[in-house]
Each structure stands twice: as structure tokens, then as C-alpha cells.
């Protein structure tokens, strides 16, 4: 009987404590909500069209956390792609893709790009004698133009390496940097055989002239992280025991920018066992920093520096670095900016970007306004899975939406 009384007493005390705690929590939550409501200005209510501040949806609560000075100077819309003229017009049987940024030298625009020939066979069987991707078995070529529309193909810039070298299978997805009257090409490399588990790396070449000749780095300047573990021996890139860092499988799409007395190498990382998330493919960007253009490049401890993206598209602006994030991930189709080149914040969410692997016009005044460098540039189009051609794009800012005849 005494035990029963003790149990009943314990249960009563427990109920009292739980009730008291719950009441305190509710009171605290109510007070907190009242405090938040008191901070909402009439201007915010009017701007966001909120009817009742005492009944805020999750969407309204998120909207109230947006910066109050959020403008539209970062918002742009991209055009459809337009074909180029001259040697960069579409050519059946030839792949021209992944244009670099353009620079202007001696009155002419220069662009570098991946070039290969023949159809793609894909993986399986004898990959040693196949072409597994359109960007497989590529070399880097370049072209010039006086107006950015009609182009003359000047020839080979950087060729694949000799058999057994780290770049003997393909060199592709190139970017240009000019620094102190010297020219640098950074690009992806693959060593044969090109299997689904092959680890892409990044190479570098330099020259005293945009016309070459180019001297290649003897070793890659950046490689994937080595902390992932494949499961089994079968060529299955989704079978992993340990995924490793965000760039444990591939480092892609390099772009080097001189910044704050250093050289910032931005790149796309692909992880072993890549997954599909609620934003699509699990693709993120990273950063490696060097004291000299040739390296050595040390990966930032803050990597990855994006939650989304695909091809790298970055430019200096207002003392920081701006980035166009497209294609993959929960933050795709955004323009972001970072004061330190590492910690990026979303500045605008834009309509789907039709341009791929954007080649920026670095001859433009990128400080004129945030998106001035996006006014026109180059891209590529999939004419078919086998063959791609380089195209042009334009973009424009948008301040208002008006109806026809308004």
C-alpha cells in the first residue's frame, strides 16, 4: 500500500513538473513570438503584403528574415543561344565545347575551347579504344574574332600528353587568365583508361603570348581528395564504402583569379558515390589558393564553398568575388557574392540559365554594375549527344514586369 502511494505521489509530481515545464515553454515561445512581431515594421508588412502579424505562415517568417535592402541590381534574364559565324559555326562530326572566358588582345577577342572529332560510344567493353564522352579524346584549340560573332580558328594550343602521362587521354574545359603580361590556361585532364571510376585532375600551361607556344606543367596542379573508398572492384561509381570529401572523385572546371595578392583557383568537385538530392545532382564548388600562378595550390579548409552549381563562372566585383551558380543543387540558378572569396551569399534567384559552360567577356568593365560581365559571352549547345558547338548569349537586367502595350 505504501509503495502504491509513493508511485501515485511520484506520478503526480511528474505530471506537475511536465505541466509546469510545458507552460513555461509555451509562455517563453509566446513571449519570443511577441518580441519578433514587435520588430516587424509597417514598411515590411506593406512590402510583403502580410495581412495579420499574429498569424504568420512559415513562408512569411522566412520572408521577414530577408535583407531589408534586397534590390534587383543582381537580377538578370538570359537570352536564347545564337549560332556563331565563321569557323565556330556548327560542323557535323566535330565537337567544340566549353569555351573559356574571352580576353581582348591587339584588337581581337581570343577564346580557347575543347575540340574532338567523331561520335561518342559510351562506357562498357574496350574503353581503351572508345570515345566515352564528347569531351573524351579532346585537345585545346583557340580562335580569334574582331567582333565576337565571326570567328577564325587559329589552331591547336595544348595537346594531350604522351602515353603514360597524367593527361594522355584528354585535356578539356579550359579557362584563361592573364597576369603581368603572361598567359595561363588551366584545364581538366584524364589519364587512360577512361573508366567510370577514373579520377580527373587539373593541369596548367603558360605562355608569353596568347598565340603560344605553351609550356605544360609536368604534374597536375590539383587532384581529388584521396579519402574515399570504393566498394568492390566492379566499375561502379555509386558503390562506395566511404564517400570522402566533396571532391573525392573529380576536380573539374578550373578558373584562376588573381585576388588579394594570391591566386584563387575555383573548381567543381564531384564526390565518390554521388547522390541525387532534393536539388538534383550532388555538385559543389571548392577553392584552392596559391602564392604563384603555377602553384602549389592548397585547398581551403572551408571547402566546399557552395551547396550547388556545375561549371565555374566567377568574376571580381566590388572588392569581392561574384559567382553564377547553375544546373545542380538546391541553390542552382542564383547569383552569389563573397567579400572574402570564400563565404558566398545569395544575391538573386534568376530564371533558368540557357547558357552552359559560360565563357565570360573579361574585356568588359566588370565593376560597372554587378552583372555587367554577363551582358554577352559564349556558351555551348548540344546539337546532339555526339556533337556540340559554341554559341553566344546575351542577358539583360529587369526592373519591372509590364504587360503588352502597358
Least confident of 30-39, 263-272, 308-317, 346-355: 30-39
- Is residue 43 domain-shared with residue 80, that is, in the same domain? no
In a domain, 371, yes or no: yes
Residue 402 lies inside a defined structural domain of this protein: no
Looking up residue 385, the CATH number of its domain turns out to be: 2.115.10.20
pLDDT digits (tens, 9 = 90+) for 64-118: 988 777 778 999 999 999 999 999 999 999 999 999 999 999 999 999 999 999 9
Q: Does residue 71 fall inside a structural domain?
A: no
pLDDT at residue 345 is higher than 50: yes
Q: Under a CB-based contact definition with an 8 Å cutoff, are residues 100 and 111 in contact?
A: yes
What pLDDT does 398 receive? 86
The overall average pLDDT reported for the chain is: 91
**Domain count within the chain:** 2
Q: How far apart are CA 23 and CA 228, in angstroms?
A: 49
Q: Cβ neighbours of residue 361 under 8 Å, at least 6 residues apart?
A: 101, 102, 109, 148, 373, 375, 376, 377
Q: Determine, yes or no, domain membership for 288.
A: yes
Q: Which of 26-40, 301-315, 341-355 has the lowest mean pLDDT?
A: 26-40
Q: What is the pLDDT of residues 116-172, one digit of tens each?
A: 999 999 998 889 999 999 999 999 999 999 999 999 999 999 999 999 999 999 999
* pLDDT of 82: 97
Q: Verify that 155 and 303 share a domain, yes or no.
A: yes
pLDDT score for 34: 54
Q: Is residue 406 included in any domain, yes or no?
A: no
Same-domain status, 187 and 294: yes
pLDDT value of position 17: 39
Co-location of 46 and 85 in the same domain: no
Q: Mind listing the pLDDT tens digit for each residue in 254-290?
A: 999 999 999 999 999 999 999 999 999 999 999 999 9
Residues 91 and 187 in one domain: yes
Nearest to 315 by CA among 398, 256, 401, 379: 256
Per the structure, the complete domain to which residue 160 belongs is given by 76-397
Query: How confident is the model at residue 49, as a pLDDT?
Result: 92
- Return the CATH number at 53: 1.10.8.360
Which has more pLDDT, 31 or 366? 366
- Is residue 198 domain-shared with residue 302, that is, in the same domain? yes
Threshold 0.85, pTM exceeds: yes
E strands present in 40-169:
76-78, 82-83, 85-86, 94-97, 103-105, 108-117, 139-145, 150-158
Reported as a single tens digit per residue, the pLDDT across 9-55 is: 443 444 443 444 444 455 555 544 554 666 788 888 888 999 899 99
250 within some domain: yes
Amino acid at each position: 500500500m505504501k509503495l502504491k502511494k509513493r508511485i501515485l505521489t511520484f506520478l503526480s509530481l511528474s505530471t506537475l513538473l511536465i505541466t509546469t515545464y510545458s507552460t513555461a515553454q509555451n509562455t517563453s515561445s509566446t513571449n519570443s513570438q511577441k518580441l519578433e512581431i514587435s520588430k516587424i515594421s509597417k514598411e515590411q508588412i506593406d512590402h510583403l503584403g502580410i495581412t495579420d502579424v499574429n498569424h504568420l505562415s512559415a513562408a512569411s517568417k522566412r520572408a521577414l528574415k530577408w535583407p531589408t535592402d534586397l534590390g534587383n541590381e543582381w537580377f538578370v534574364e538570359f537570352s536564347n543561344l545564337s549560332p556563331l559565324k565563321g569557323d565556330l559555326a556548327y560542323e557535323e562530326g566535330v565537337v567544340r565545347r566549353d569555351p573559356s572566358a574571352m580576353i581582348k588582345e591587339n584588337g581581337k577577342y581570343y577564346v580557347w575551347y575543347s575540340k574532338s572529332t567523331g561520335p561518342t560510344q559510351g562506357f562498357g567493353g574496350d574503353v581503351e579504344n572508345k570515345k566515352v564522352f564528347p569531351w573524351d579524346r579532346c585537345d585545346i584549340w583557340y580562335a580569334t574574332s574582331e567582333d565576337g560573332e565571326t570567328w577564325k580558328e587559329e589552331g591547336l594550343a595544348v595537346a594531350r600528353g604522351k602515353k603514360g602521362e597524367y593527361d594522355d587521354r584528354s585535356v578539356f574545359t579550359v579557362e584563361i587568365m592573364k597576369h603581368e603580361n603572361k598567359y595561363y590556361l588551366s584545364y581538366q585532364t584524364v589519364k587512360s583508361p577512361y573508366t567510370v571510376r577514373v579520377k580527373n585532375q587539373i593541369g596548367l600551361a603558360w605562355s608569353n603570348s596568347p598565340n603560344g607556344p605553351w609550356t605544360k606543367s609536368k604534374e597536375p596542379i590539383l587532384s581529388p581528395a584521396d579519402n574515399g573508398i570504393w566498394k568492390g572492384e566492379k566499375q561502379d561509381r555509386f558503390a562506395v564504402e566511404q564517400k570522402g570529401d566533396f571532391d573525392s572523385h573529380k576536380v573539374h572546371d578550373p578558373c584562376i583569379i588573381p585576388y588579394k595578392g594570391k591566386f584563387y583557383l575555383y573548381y567543381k568537385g564531384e564526390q565518390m558515390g554521388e547522390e541525387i538530392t532534393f536539388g538534383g545532382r550532388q555538385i559543389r564548388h571548392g577553392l584552392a589558393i596559391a602564392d604563384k600562378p603555377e602553384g602549389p595550390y592548397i585547398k581551403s579548409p572551408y571547402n566546399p564553398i557552395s551547396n550547388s552549381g556545375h561549371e565555374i563562372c566567377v568574376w571580381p566585383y566590388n572588392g569581392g568575388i561574384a559567382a553564377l551558380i547553375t544546373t545542380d543543387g538546391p541553390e542552382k540558378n542564383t547569383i552569389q557574392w563573397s567579400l572574402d572569396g570564400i563565404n558566398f551569399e545569395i544575391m538573386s534567384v534568376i530564371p533558368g540559365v540557357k547558357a552552359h559552360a559560360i565563357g565570360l567577356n573579361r574585356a568588359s568593365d566588370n565593376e560597372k554594375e554587378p552583372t555587367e560581365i554577363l551582358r554577352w559571352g559564349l556558351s555551348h549547345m548540344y546539337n546532339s549527344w555526339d556533337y556540340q558547338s559554341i554559341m553566344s548569349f546575351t542577358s539583360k537586367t529587369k526592373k519591372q514586369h509590364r504587360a503588352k502595350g502597358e
